[in-house]
Structure 1
Amino acid sequence: MTVFLRTRMDTDLLHANYYLGALFFALIILLVDGFPELTMTIARLSVFYKQNDLCFYPAWAYAIPAAILKIPLSVLESVIWTCLTYYVIGFSPEAGRFFRQLLLLFAVHMTSISMFRFLASVCRTVVASTAAGSLSILFVFLFSGFVIPRPSMPVWLKWGFWISPLTYGEIGLSVNEFLAPRWQKTLSTNTTIGNEVLESRGLNFDGYLYWISVCALFGFTILFNIGFTLALTFLKAPGSRAIISRDKYSQIEGNSDSSDKADAEENSKTTMDSHEGAGRMVLPFEPLSLVFRDVQYSVDTPAAMKELGFTQNKLQLLSDITGALRPGVLAALMGVSGAGKTTLLDVLAGRKTSGHVEGEIKVGGYPKVQETFARVSGYCEQTDIHSPQITVEESVIFSAWLRLHPQIDSKTKYEFVKEVLETIELDGIKDTMVGMPGVSGLSTEQRKRLTIAVELVANPSIIFMDEPTTGLDARSAAIVMRAVKNVADTGRTIVCTIHQPSIDIFEAFDELILLKTGGRMIYWGPLGRNSCKMIEYFEGISGVPKIKNNYNPATWMLEVTSTSSEAETSIDFAEVYKNSALHKNNEELVKKLTFPPAGSKDLYFPTQFSQNGWGQFKTCFWKQYWSYWRSPSYNLMRSLHMIFASVVFGLLFWDKGTKLDDQQSVFSVFGAMFTAVIFCGINNSSSVLPYVTTERSVLYRERFAGMYASWAYALAQVAIEIPYLLAQALAFTVITYPMIGYYWSAHKVLWYFYSMFCTLLYFTYLGMMLVSLTPNLPVAAILQSSFYTMFNLFAGFLIPKAQIPKWWIWFYYLVPTSWTLNGMLTSQYGDVDTEITVFGDKKSVAAFIRDYFGFHHNQLPIVGVVLIAYPLVFATLFAFFIGRLNFQRR
């Protein structure tokens, strides 16, 4: 509102264009404000489909409340906008016109929300609905009558003017403003200023068209809601696809006898026996023990707890934890929920990003140094995070190439990859795409095994696994544990957090570390055959009930040591363990392992990462290359969007590039450039958000594992975009340049292509930068919308540079879209001396561009440098923040 300030605008033909720009900007803001309805609707669809399948309610019972509940939001948005802008900008002061503008903006916002809700119900996925939403905005924007007036539209496309909802917003607002008394001054042509403005835009309608426009907008709202209801009724939820190995498929296709036999064989496999020869590995490794003594972990007390009366400044989560993990011993880390299992695992692995860690941790008898420890350890997270668009084998190869010693030749590395895939039993599905969890690709159990393989291929001495069987059924959990046991049989040190395991899974472990609530240790020792050692220890404690026959030892152990059982029996199991003979024996073992073996050396690596900088970048680029090539939902959709938009631009502005006779014809071609820059750029920037957000989660895991430096990932992510953006810019130029009919010269064509290429670069890198700055996708999208608003408002189209208040002019020079439009318009027309009529006077095109827009042809070299500077700045900021900011809290 301070850009279109009333003290700077008069009621004449020149300033009427600025009032039109302010009205149109209001329409765009309220139209785009409905865009988040896409993701919100899709997020709720899964719940709707589930409840609808269970016959909770019909689709209309869901659709009607969804529409009604948005009415207060539309009222609030339109009231705030109108109250803040109407009199500050200086629209017609009559109260009736104020409330009519308010009503029309309310109708526009309702239509926008309904349209995006309908598109979400039809597309049903974020990627598809985002593309459809972008194309819909482009269509209603282009055909609204502002960018190109109705009289200037090709005859065969004027139907688009009447089916665009934004048209009726433009008609209603324009009629409401320019038929006001203050615009009724008569011109020399025997028409009023208001009518002249409306006629030049093809909006010369009578006042009653305002009410028709309001009714049309509410009609669109009703139609979109009907479409939303029908889509919910007849379209089903998108399905998911699971992957099975070829061997399993052959079993399914076989006859019933062979299937029964195969099932029997498979079930026999799910015992905890290892594959024959699993202990042999192509690459040798150094067995290492991990000793920890008196480990403490605390966090700063949350403010909410202090308000409840908690007086201490720190909240203790782990207390005096002492133990050891040894080669070839498969250890289970257990405890009730909140006991600190994952916390202890993260502390030992060095994965904590906050809090205070105290105590002694040694690796092979030497103090642990996290930078070197990351090179000899692996961490399998509970959430299996992988790049979705590469295969199982490529995921393992990527980890191997970055984490194995550079002196190991490629053939040996590949043999080791094959052996790891066989050990983890992934060789049957090695060419399968990883996919998105619950949507496509690998099943949960297969993803768990892939997580193990990605860590095992680094040839670590110590592997941490956070609840590898959580969320799996008994059969899948047995398959995963068989893979874990195969790894343990290679002589590695392995510890797994585990929650409520079955008898078979529990007895696959060799040792148990048990924690109680508050992070105190109550048992560390062997399990024994059929868990006899653990049972003997707890049954030897007075007051502990005996285990029942055929009862799961793990379940019994958790029950008798629970907080409620401790309260009933008045037993402090932590104190009992501290005073036990087992604890004394463990102390002796820890003391022995604290000292390094004779002849051993401390871990040392000359560099932080296994590969040099070029190797890191090359491998990251290799993965990004395949990810992009196999991402049609990202690259194909944005490419099709560019082609479709280019064709629409070409048809709508057909052969207008050199047919200039007045200021409106210049405004039309400038509008074509403005629309192309804004909408093609916004589509690219919005499309890249979900992709980079997904890959950032993978980055966090890989960076913790010490695979590469953040700059290598960022440079690969930035570089892989260039060929795709080049192709987009080329397609845009090839389609629009001859269709619109711009001047044919190599200099002008190259400038046109260069300007669009730089635009796509900086919009795409802007999206990447915002992801690196924000904790999640919704926050990035919200921040992105504020950038779009500024890029739109200060581009120089809605209000030229000369009319921007001096307190905002710095923003004009700051936003990149103003430089793009400067380069495109000036390179095309800045040297054209053809005379045109400008508000009744004769002036050359070059002079009009210089005087009205402030664009100078001799400043094109400066514009060219600035245009390439923006992508470089955004890419650099992306690389900086993706390395410095970590929104994953552990």
Structure 2
Amino acid sequence: MAQGPQAFHDLLASKLPAATGKPLPRMEVRFSNLSLSADIVVADDHATKYELPTIPNELKKTLMGPKKKTVRKEILKSVSGRFTPGKITLLLGQPGSGKSALMKILSSRFPMAKNISLEGDISFNNVPREQIEDRLAQFVSYVNQRDKHFPTLTVKETLEFAHSFCGGKLLEHGQGMLDMGSSSIHNNEALEDVKSIFSHYPDVVIQQLGLQICQDTVVGDNMLRGISGGERKRVTTGEMEFGMKYVSLMDEITTGLDAAAAYDIVDTQRSIAHRMQKTVVIALLQPSPELFALFDDVMILNEGELMYHGPCNKVEAYFETLGFKCPPGRDIADYLLDLGTKQQHRYEVPHPTKQPRSPAEFGESFRLTQIYQETLSILEAPYDPELVESVKDIIDPMPAFHQSIFASVLALQWRALLITYRNQAFVMGKLAMVIIMGLLYCSIFYQFDPTQIAVVMGVMFAAVMFLSMGQGAMIPVYISGRAIFYKQRRANFFRTGSYVLATTVSQIPLAIAETLIFGSILYFCCGFATDVKLFIIFEIILFVSNLAIGMWFFFLAGVCPDANVVMPVGMVSILVFIIFAGFVVTKSQIPDYLIWAHWISPIAWALKAMAINQYRSSDFDVCVYDGVDYCSKYNGLTMGEYYLDLFDFATEKEWVAYGIIYLLAIYVVFMFLSYLALEYVRYETPDNVDVSVKPIEDENSYVLTETPKAANRKGDVVIELPVEDREKNFIPVTVAFQDLHYWVPDPHNLKEQLELLKGINGFALPGSITALMGSTGAGKTTLMDVIAGRKTGGKITGKILLNGYEASDLAIRRSTGYCEQMDVHSEAATIREALTFSSFLRQDASISEAKKYDSVNECIELLGLEDIADQIIRGSSVEQMKRLTIGVELAAQPSVIFLDEPTSGLDARSAKIIMDGVRKVADSGRTIICTIHQPSAEVFYLFDRLLLLQRGGPNCRNLIDYFENIPGVAPLPEGYNPATWMLECIGAGVGHGTEDSTDFVSYFKNSPYNQQLETTMAKEGITTPSPDLPEMVFGKKRAANSSTQMKFVTYNAFWYFVASTLAEIPYCFVSSFIFTFIFYYFVGFTGFSTAVVFWLESSLLVLMMVYLAQFFVFLTPSEEVAQIVGILFNSVFMMFVGFSPPAYKIPSGYTWLYKICVFKFPISNLIAMIFAECDELPTWNETTQAYENVGSQLGCQPMADSPETVGHITIKEYTEQYFGMKHSEIARNFGITIGIIVLFRIWAALAMRYVNHQKK
């Protein structure tokens, strides 16, 4: 690899044929009349198109809406073609053209469903796809658009695991092919070479993709800082490079890469195709002319129609025969993508015949060409005999999976262990939680009295529940890993069974640790039977119940669509397990038609086994205990049997074994159900298609008019547009930065500092667009973040100036807008509402509402959002979301707008739409600064100024003539994209960082351009104040006044707090009303007024829990940590409610916790208003041994089956004496509950305002 990938591929291609005595393995892909369609249910009702998805509107649609109908959406329309070995094919198409669908169908990755219809023939070397579908992933690799990886694994680990899953080292069938070589000397030499190559293939892939610098860095995600987006995209590509595949289908592999890196990676794939005789097909969004020139063939799809499939060097001539010509300076790929759309008018030239307009007409024209007819002839002809002959060598011996089941489980288990135990906050949090809870239980229930059966059962019940509920914190981990499983399972990396087994087994060490720590503390402190055998059984029961509930959560994570469904379903199912466990409601009280729920509850079996294990021990299975002869008093029942009978538990010792066996059995059953869910229930359906929405061309009429260029550029062509003059609500601002340095701590040596920016100078003027460009890691986004005041860490030196005045942090924030690369919006709002929120909250309070509404309309017009302004944001396309992101910042009327990668992930046409809108914004007098990776030539020429960063350092500026005058720099080739050429000049790309000795930084510093830069920056209004330009001074942090912030309830933490407080109230009260309405009367409670109070108190309890959860979310760094903190908080305070242990049994050292227990007050009210209500207590008659004058209220009734130690007592007395829940304290508890709710909201407001876990 030292001499480049081409030399490496040449070496490999020369050795393998010599060793095998046969040509390199090849695979040809043919597809004929391939049609793909989906039956979609739609409501054809234009009148309700813009209605918001509120509850009244949804009810109205359900009751009065139009009937739904099924519409067939054609995704691919009779597409025929072939991909041949030794060639690299470019697949072009706009979003929705069907290019991804074609790749997924050919690679057997498309998620088929009942509503999906697939017709046509697909074959590989004359073998129909259906015959090898289960093994197809071993021949055909597919690189997905989306980057899905485990964030805590390093780049090298991610690739090494992919390598091991694909067989590792030299595959068995590959070695078998080498063994057939004729020359033993050459064979042995090639065998050793290939073995060496394959054993180190992750390093080969890392070098091919230029990932050496970051190979030991974690991949990272939105919350964990890791590699850059471009590097993550390369990891996605590299992950599918293993396993000796013969066909590579790659979907948008250059998104987020700089132009030079994109060129190098595609050039490497070209080398693989040509030298290794591989079949390579790559779909790209914005290929530059030089990228386009790397391909042999091109296939163009539009709305499922095949518009062209043939040699790249013939495509322009073909469309010229139809009356279309690519103008000079227009990228060839952009030109091809515009054909078949309303943008094609600019390419039309006089032609004797009618030019095709729609994709269907282009498809019909292509089917009449000689190229297509030749393709059909080839498809009907037999395959090359050599390819057919190779089937027995390269297809028949290939297994569905390279790894054995055992090896696969080991690899997956090791990966799962790495992922689990690298989440140190999660692991340490869980262990700390079990230690704290164990010590609490130990001190509270220290040496309990076995005759206090409610206390003992409460301890055992709480022990099972605490460890089991702790498994719920794994749900987010399971859900996040599921998408990666889908990708790797479809690539046949491993079997589904191996994944399920390895994932669950990897949780066993942590479960054992939790069980041993918590169980040991609890068992010996609380006074369970002192028998080692019984202790071991106790631990086993805890352990297997922990596993069973954990596997239940894993199953739910596999069968439910997302975490929003898993969490409530999981909590409801656990609630069912709890209710029917035999503790809250004893078995005899469960209705016959629901008794099945008791027998399937794992908690019931665990609790029963644990109770029998204790009370049938030699310590308690006696007649006389503590002076009471139980055998004579209770029909021969021993003390242990008597107390077991109180809870309707069986008394035979065999039930302990039955319980353990049942828990192990349902663990296996849940594991099998998890396997079925992951194997057959996949939530990876294609993107939804809204057939009622007009095509984008109809929504963006402005794209038919060329956008005028800025007046200060050469060759200006200004086209007057009839735009209504508007009053400017902003002050034009010049941004300048002098000697800007930025240091961050070195992650490998925290005592050292890494300098990311080294003395950067530059400026940006009003009415202009300044582009920040450079190779990946050069510091583009870092520079923009520093200028925009977005960095939260590190050390910054130098000056940032606005209109020549040194800028304060408040001035930067109030006068600038920042468009993140990720488009994050409130999906329930409409586009107009989002813009209105921004306008009213971020423009100064002195500006009238009419002007603010006017600025909203200006944003809509500038960005071409007129036709979709009143649609909700949910469901908008990527390009529409990007325009909205820019619009939200523009609506604030900022003087300066920063854009981070505004065209990343967009096709060339959508990128042009976005940048045309940005050009209009700049022409309105604003200053635009943006980073950009791969601009087309047309987009590139929209920029007024360029600041070019070389990795780690200073800048170079103003372009083609400048670079061509530098010694050693080759001239810009004709038709070459200047952006790509420029990056190649400075050594961008894969592995070119140190090849060129030219010191571009020094050359720039000594150039006339640097002198011009220094002269310009010295002018008034740039780095020195000007009397004609105002200083940006703001007297307050918020632009809008408090009433406006309260009205729109966003941005300010206080008013957001008010909004989130009020928004939860109706949901909590309505849901509690529904629960009370069903529950209260069905269980036999009476009294309408009591029911109302019960509803109010339960609503306050739910509201308290919701506000507490919000506080934990604001306070903690991640969802997993918030769940652990929540479980710990709830577990601790639920112990001091006064129920288990009863209030009178709480040790004196913990009475303070009982007094401050936030849950005690609402729960006491709920219980007291039902069980402690008795206007006049009955009297006990010693003679009749019965109560007299018993009232009708529930609290007046005698306790039935009360324990021996309790004696005769009424329900009211029992509730108040043992549990401390008094009817007389209901009003006081109401007030305290409301006070606690207010306290939680204050805490949440403080956390939301002052705690920020975002790190940049």
Aligned partners of 1:473 and 1:464: how far apart in 2? Answer: 21
Q: Which of 216, 221, 224 is the aligned partner of 2:667?
A: 221
Q: Which residue of 2 aligns with 1:574?
A: 1001
Q: Which of 765, 782, 790 is the aligned partner of 2:1132?
A: 790
Aligned partners of 1:7 and 1:282: how far apart in 2? Answer: 72
Rg larger in structure:
2
SS, match of residue 843 in structure 1 = coil
Q: Is 1:94 aligned to 2:531, yes or no?
A: yes
Q: Is the 8 A contact 2:823 2:885 kept in 1?
A: yes
Note the alpha carbon deviations across 1:357-399, whole angstroms, 9 max, x for none: 2222221233323323333221111122211222222211211
Note the alpha carbon deviations across 1:809-862, whole angstroms, 9 max, x for none: 322223311222222223333342225244352223333223211234443343
Q: Which residue of 1 aligns with 2:1251?
A: 885
Q: Which amino acid aligns with 2:1069?
A: L
- Judge which range, 820-829 or 767-776, deviates more: 820-829
Aligned residues: 775
Q: Which residue of 2 aligns with 1:612?
A: 1041
Aligned partners of 2:948 and 2:691: how far apart in 1? Answer: 37
Cα distance, 1:212 vs structure 2: 1.3
Q: Is 1:550 aligned to 2:975, yes or no?
A: yes
Q: Which residue of 2 aligns with 1:854?
A: 1220
Q: Which residue of 1 aligns with 2:601?
A: 164
Aligned partners of 2:1152 and 2:917: how far apart in 1? Answer: 62
Q: Is the 8 A contact 1:292 1:359 kept in 2?
A: no
Aligned partners of 1:279 and 1:325: how far apart in 2? Answer: 25
Q: Is 1:719 aligned to 2:1153, yes or no?
A: no
Q: Which residue of 1 aligns with 2:458?
A: 21
Aligned partners of 2:1134 and 2:993: how far apart in 1? Answer: 65
Q: Is the 8 A contact 1:378 1:463 kept in 2?
A: yes
Q: Which residue of 1 aligns with 2:721?
A: 277
Q: Is 1:75 aligned to 2:417, yes or no?
A: no
Q: Is 1:829 aligned to 2:1254, yes or no?
A: no
Q: Is the 8 A contact 2:736 2:801 kept in 1?
A: yes
Cα distance, 1:332 vs structure 2: 0.4
Aligned partners of 1:209 and 1:203: how far apart in 2? Answer: 10
Aligned partners of 1:267 and 1:372: how far apart in 2? Answer: 38
Q: Which residue of 2 aligns with 1:752?
A: 1094
Q: Which of 1017, 1025, 1028 is the aligned partner of 1:590?
A: 1017
Change (3 A) 1:225 1:743: same
Q: Which amino acid aligns with 2:1198?
A: I
Q: Which residue of 2 aligns with 1:118?
A: 555
Q: Is the 8 A contact 2:1143 2:1220 kept in 1?
A: yes
Q: Is 1:301 aligned to 2:663, yes or no?
A: no
Q: Is the 8 A contact 1:21 1:799 kept in 2?
A: yes
Q: Is 1:779 aligned to 2:1121, yes or no?
A: yes
Q: Is the 8 A contact 1:802 1:852 kept in 2?
A: yes
Higher relative contact order (CA 8 A, sep 6+): 1
Q: Which amino acid aligns with 2:862?
A: T
SS, match of residue 97 in structure 1 = helix
Q: Which amino acid aligns with 1:844?
A: T
Cα distance, 1:234 vs structure 2: 2.3
SS, match of residue 1159 in structure 2 = helix
Aligned partners of 2:966 and 2:736: how far apart in 1? Answer: 26
Aligned partners of 1:47 and 1:84: how far apart in 2? Answer: 39
Q: Is 1:193 aligned to 2:193, yes or no?
A: no
1:803-822 aligned at under 5 Å gives the runs 803-822=1145-1164
Note the alpha carbon deviations across 1:225-247, whole angstroms, 9 max, x for none: 22212222322324364677977
Q: Is the 8 A contact 1:769 1:874 kept in 2?
A: yes
SS, match of residue 1148 in structure 2 = coil
Aligned partners of 1:18 and 1:785: how far apart in 2? Answer: 21
Change (3 A) 1:455 1:422: same
Q: Which amino acid aligns with 1:714?
A: F
Aligned partners of 1:849 and 1:240: how far apart in 2? Answer: 57
Aligned partners of 2:443 and 2:1009: how far apart in 1? Answer: 84
Q: Which of 242, 249, 252 is the aligned partner of 2:695?
A: 249
Cα distance, 1:889 vs structure 2: 1.6
Q: Which of 510, 522, 525 is the aligned partner of 1:85?
A: 522
Aligned partners of 1:848 and 1:216: how far apart in 2? Answer: 36
Cα distance, 1:202 vs structure 2: 0.7
Note the alpha carbon deviations across 1:682-741, whole angstroms, 9 max, x for none: xxxxxxxxxxxxxxxxxxxxxxxxxx4211111111111111112122223222222223
Change (3 A) 1:182 1:445: same
Change (3 A) 1:413 1:170: same
SS, match of residue 1209 in structure 2 = strand
Change (3 A) 1:172 1:247: closer
Q: Is the 8 A contact 1:107 1:217 kept in 2?
A: yes
Q: Which residue of 2 aligns with 1:230?
A: 676
Q: Which amino acid aligns with 1:774?
A: T
Aligned partners of 1:710 and 1:725: how far apart in 2? Answer: 23
Aligned partners of 1:144 and 1:38: how far apart in 2? Answer: 23
Q: Which residue of 2 aligns with 1:646?
A: none
Change (3 A) 1:242 1:356: farther
TM-score scaled by structure 1?
A: 0.82
Q: Is 1:317 aligned to 2:756, yes or no?
A: yes
Aligned partners of 1:264 and 1:483: how far apart in 2? Answer: 12
Q: Is 1:524 aligned to 2:957, yes or no?
A: yes
Aligned partners of 2:509 and 2:978: how far apart in 1? Answer: 57
Cα distance, 1:8 vs structure 2: 6.2
Cα distance, 1:10 vs structure 2: 6.6
Change (3 A) 1:450 1:281: farther
TM-score scaled by structure 2?
A: 0.59
Q: Is the 8 A contact 2:741 2:760 kept in 1?
A: no
Aligned partners of 2:1163 and 2:501: how far apart in 1? Answer: 44
Aligned partners of 1:275 and 1:210: how far apart in 2? Answer: 87
Q: Which amino acid aligns with 2:1048?
A: T
Q: Which of 28, 41, 48 is the aligned partner of 2:485?
A: 48
Cα distance, 1:146 vs structure 2: 0.6
Q: Is the 8 A contact 1:244 1:429 kept in 2?
A: no
Aligned partners of 2:1117 and 2:1001: how far apart in 1? Answer: 39
Aligned partners of 2:762 and 2:439: how far apart in 1? Answer: 66
More helix by share: 1
CA RMSD after TM alignment: 2.9
Q: Which of 355, 375, 378 is the aligned partner of 2:794?
A: 355
- Judge which range, 472-481 or 3-12, deviates more: 3-12
Q: Which residue of 2 aligns with 1:601?
A: 1030
Aligned partners of 1:577 and 1:323: how far apart in 2? Answer: 13
Q: Which residue of 1 aligns with 2:148?
A: none
Q: Which amino acid aligns with 1:152?
A: Q
Change (3 A) 1:145 1:376: same
Change (3 A) 1:66 1:888: closer
Cα distance, 1:195 vs structure 2: 0.9
Q: Is the 8 A contact 2:947 2:957 kept in 1?
A: yes
Q: Which amino acid aligns with 1:878?
A: A
Q: Which residue of 1 aligns with 2:1233?
A: 867
Cα distance, 1:286 vs structure 2: 4.1
1:505-516 aligned at under 5 Å gives the runs 505-516=939-950
- Judge which range, 67-76 or 163-172, deviates more: 67-76
Q: Is 1:741 aligned to 2:1088, yes or no?
A: no
Q: Which residue of 1 aligns with 2:31?
A: none
Aligned partners of 2:1008 and 2:500: how far apart in 1? Answer: 67
Q: Is the 8 A contact 2:841 2:1048 kept in 1?
A: yes
Change (3 A) 1:276 1:156: farther
Aligned partners of 2:941 and 2:532: how far apart in 1? Answer: 80
Change (3 A) 1:4 1:37: closer
- Judge which range, 733-742 or 144-153, deviates more: 733-742
Q: Which amino acid aligns with 1:727?
A: V
Any unmatched runs of 5+ in structure 1?
A: 253-261, 436-440, 526-533, 622-707
Aligned partners of 2:475 and 2:916: how far apart in 1? Answer: 43
Q: Which residue of 1 aligns with 2:308?
A: none
1:476-515 aligned at under 5 Å gives the runs 476-515=910-949
